[in-house]
Amino acid sequence: MTHILTSPDGTPASRFAFGTMQFGGRADAAQSAEIFAACRTAGITHFDTAWVYTKGHSEEILGRLIKGERDQLIIASKVGYTGGAGAQNMQAQFDTSRARLQLDCIDILYLHRFDAQTDLRETLGWFAARKEAGDIRYIGLSNFAAWQVMKAQMLGAELGFSTDILQPMYSLVKRQAEVEILPMCTDQNIAIAPYSPLGGGLLTGKYTTGGTGRLSEDARYNSRYGQAWMHETASELSALADNLGVSPATLAVAWVAAHPAAPMPIISGRSAEQIAPSLAALDFQMDAALYDQIEALSPRPAPATDRLEEQELGA
């Protein structure tokens, strides 16, 4: 597994990352500063943003917040969500991101999503050149299917590098990554920083009590997490959390982090109060019995070969 380290002291990245998607959006500058302070107090050193987040405000706010302790932090950003993965577009977005973050080097740079219209050799060649120049330290891929990652691995071998870190979606209600992505990362020594461990907020339990948020306000999130069984899983997780005297958000994040592939979940939120249960998962002790109990609350994905009888036998 690639070990993501700070520079220049080589301190390992924190077990969780914090995603700043709401900086400059649902979280204004003052709230963002409070969130950042809470994360640092909890020991978070890994912060994730993207060129596309909140029209650039996320990167700008994060850039101001990291001043004075840059060398103790891992800063990640993403390019190519819009405009494609051609070298010219990625370079323009990358330069803008560096200016916003006030950084010459961004520790982790992800391709935000696969671009079928651009030759992957061009994309990877640009990433390889940026790494060789010292503009980035780790090469990441986000929202890639397993076959797309392995294609990048094959082409990367020709260019003398491999993917360092992958950013897939993963939560108790979005478990597709278990089928091929997580085992592939283990096999290929790729670090994993999964996003949305709370299922867009569904697994916080607030929707079971009539609360509102992205799932009720954003049609995309409502579509992504709108299936009845997902809401049933959220209700059952909340009941289990009540019995244990903890927040369901704490259980949801701790469960993702406890996967044998050792992922580093990206937590997020719009206030220091809102992220507290997720930060509490850093210290939550998840034993094997509880892990299995939580796992049973949602359907287990079928194996890629669809040989269910082998999965049931533990093959």
Active site members: 53
- Nearest Cα residue to 78 out of 45, 100, 101, 108: 108
H or E element: which one contains 250? helix 248-257
Q: Which two tokens stand for residue 186?
A: 């283990």
Burial of 25 (0-12, 13-18, 19+ CB in 10 A): middle
What stretches of the chain adopt beta strand conformation (E)? 17-19, 46-48, 74-79, 106-111, 136-142, 165-167, 191-192, 266-267
Contact yes or no for 100/59 (Cβ under 8 A)? yes
N-terminal to C-terminal alpha carbon distance within the chain: 24
Q: Are 87 and 126 in contact (CB under 8 A)?
A: yes
Residue 232 neighbours by CB distance under 10 Å: 14
Widest distance between CA atoms in the chain = 56
